[in-house]
Amino acid sequence: MSEKDLQLLIELAKELGKSLTKEEALRSFIAAGILDKAGNYTQPYKELEKADA
């Protein structure tokens, strides 16, 4: 994943987050396979942890 792709995902998440509750957002990321049920990034998305810090 390139830095540009990562930034686009971050911006998309921020925009979507404006209209979702925390619970709805968490369910969406779990359903998409981005987060596991514990709220941790799944293997393909581990790079997002760096942007989250």
Contact by Cβ (8 Å): 29, 35: yes
pLDDT of residue 17: 66
6-18 residue pLDDT tens: 888 888 878 876 7
pLDDT of residue 37: 93
Contact by Cβ (8 Å): 34, 42: yes
Rounded average pLDDT over 40-46? 92
pLDDT of 50 above 90? no
E strands in 1-53: none
Rounded average pLDDT over 4-33? 83
